[in-house]
Structure 1
Amino acid sequence: MKPLYFVPFAVVALLLGAIFLPKLMANKADPEAAEALPSTFIGKPAPELKLDGFAGQPELTAELLAGEGLKLVNFWASWCAPCRVEHPNLVAIAEAGVPIYGINYKDDPAKAADFLAELGNPYAAVGADTEGRNGFGWGVYGVPETYLIDGEGRIVLRVAGPVTSSSYARDLGPALEAAGIEVTLGE
């Protein structure tokens, strides 16, 4: 073969490297940016809710999300290991006076109830998203995901993944502190 046959492949490889290498290097410099998942809902009203009831819990309604003050909406499931990790932090946030509304995502109702009985219930109201349609409407990638909602029912912030001490310090904590809410996490 003549060496000229490889020139087009080399040119394509150089162009792809020039396009993607800076992005890869930027993500290595800021690993949190590489893990961030964008949300198109920031600044927009919280999407509509069509939830099933959750045994023994107050019903989660759109009126609750549009109510005064900051509140959280947390998508969770009993089968979700990171949900178990974040749960003590949600309890601490609820104890600090922030209402948290839980959406149980694609879960067995009995197992979900057992989860809350075992770990405590930080939720002011709970709904079940048995089929995952609400999660789809909110842009949920996977559980857990937590949304900060303002007093007008708009999404202010999204935390993809568990609310840990580091994600709290980076994202949720500054937003709550700006509103005068102090939370001490147990981690």
Structure 2
Amino acid sequence: MKVKLLILLFLSTFFYSNSQNTLIGTKAPELNPDKWIYPDGVVTSNETKDFTVVDFWFTKCAPCVATIPELNYLSLQNPNIRFLSITFDNTKIIESFLKKATMYYPIGIDTDRKLIKKFKVSGFPETFIIDKKGIIIWQGHPIHLSSALDKLSKGKQNKSNFELSQKNEWNQQSSYSMNIKEHTLEMGPASSLSIQPFDIMLLNKKVKSILNDFYGINNSRIITSDSLFLEKSYDVQLKLNKKVIDQKNSLDIFRFHYLNSIGLKYEKITKNSLVHELIISDNKKLNTFISNEKYEGTSIRYDNWESKGIKLEKLKSFLENNYNLVVELNDENTNKFNFVLPKNNLKKALLKLENQYGITFLEKNKRTYFYEFKKN
């Protein structure tokens, strides 16, 4: 009993939980959704298991779908554990989804969200581990589930091959594994990006977005003969072997292998172009928007781009990515600011920057840098 209590306390304090409504240490609600759907190859079983893992998700939740390969792998590697999932999507949606994605565990249909409410799920995805006595002993994001299960298992398994993709087509390496494939789940604009020290996971991210996020290359700086290729979306997962890889190298490994895998290379060049030089014309106006935010962040809210605690370099990136302007900074202002700008109207955005923020632009034809992309 003492050992079990120590495990409970460790798991409840060490791992991240999606919900602030922790149920750790309480009796789990009965798992009785409206209907169970069993994907191909998955059969119902009343066999007693050591633990039960329950994952709450839905098909339009990009972070949820991104963790399905991880859950698939864990379900195969842990035959002593029952894996289940619960969704509010209806049967038709799930059956359509299963034609495009592989799942190795049953899906419970909870269209009225009765179980979701009983488990007090306030964010997706959210996962629970339940012991034999029906007590919830862990609650958190499924990306941390593997670590939680390692703590519960009697003996750690050899994880040198790492997790499988949805099609089980991992490129095996001694120090890392990386899977890249075109996105086929048709999730619309929903996408996901997760960067952990030894695990990078992307779902439904466009090439141009990946170039921006991982290479610092903005849209207006890209030269390519195949602009449609920049609109392609990919699912990517990189897993590193902690024993032989320094976490500081994870982004370098991603950058190198991603471009190679999609058949791209680039060269930094200079050429003449129309450039918008960003000039602070009224420091007093701009300084009223200096931010005290501890962390920077940007979001799209209605038709506006909203940012908090960002430097002017981030404003430059927004203008280059969203409006395809080539922007240069002529000011070394290191303050952080809050901005709210129209996302779909360049004229209004420039007027607001001038009238409200005291920022103007001087148009010049001059030499500046670009990134020329070619197929390998």
Partner of 2:117: 136
SS in 2 for 1:79: coil
Q: Which runs of 5+ in 2 are unaligned?
A: 1-13, 165-238, 240-376
Higher strand share: 2
Residue 100 of structure 2 corresponds to which residue in structure 1?
118
Report the TM-score when normalising by structure 1: 0.63
In 2, Cα distance between the equivalents of 1:181 and 1:119?
29
Task: Work out whether residues 25 and 137 of structure 2, in 8 Å CA contact, stay in contact via their aligned partners in 1.
Answer: yes
Aligned twin of 2:84:
101
Specify the alignment match of 2:69 in structure 1: 88
Q: Which amino acid aligns with 1:101?
A: L
Q: Quick check: 1:148 aligned with 2:106?
A: no
Structure 2 distance, partners of 1:73, 1:60, is 15
* Structure 1 CA distance for aligned equivalents of residues 43 and 124 of structure 2: 20
Contact 1:60 1:126 in 2 (8 A): no
Partner of 2:194: none
User: Identical aligned pairs, as a percentage?
Assistant: 25
| Higher relative helix content | 1
Residue 33 of structure 1 and its aligned partner are, at CA, apart by: 8.3
Q: How many residues align?
A: 145
- Corresponding residue SS for 1:119: coil
Q: Which amino acid aligns with 1:172?
A: A
Instruction: Answer yes or no: is the 8 Å Cα contact 2:18–2:124 preserved in 1.
Output: no
Hey, what does 1:6 align to over in structure 2? none
**Aligned equivalents of 2:44, 2:27: Cα separation in 1:** 16
2:121 is paired with a residue whose SS is coil
Contact 2:58 2:89 (C-alpha < 8 Å) held by counterparts:
yes
1:41-52 equivalences under 5 Å are 41-52=23-34
Q: Please list the CA deviations of residues 2-37 of structure 1 after superposition, one character each: whole Å capped at 9, or x if unmatched.
A: xxxxxxxxxxxxxxxxxxxxxxxxxxxxxx989764
Larger Rg: 2
Report how far residue 56 of structure 1 moved. 5.0
Change (3 A) 1:36 1:109: closer
Change (3 A) 1:90 1:54: same
3-state SS of 1:46 partner? coil
Residue 70 and residue 33 in structure 1: after superposition, are their counterparts in 2 closer, same or farther (change >3 A)?
closer
Q: Structure 1 residue 185 and structure 2 residue 163: aligned?
A: yes
- Alignment-mate amino acid for residue 109 of structure 1: T
Change (3 A) 1:99 1:158: same
| Corresponding residue for residue 75 of structure 1 | 56
Give ranges in structure 1 of 5+ residues lacking alignment. Answer: 1-31
Q: CA deviation at 1:157?
A: 0.1
Aligned residue type for 2:89: D
Paired with 2:16 and 2:67, the residues of 1 have a C-alpha distance of: 21
Task: Give 3-state SS (helix, strand or coil) of 1:74's partner.
Answer: strand
Cα distance in 2, alignment partners of residues 80 and 136 from structure 1: 18
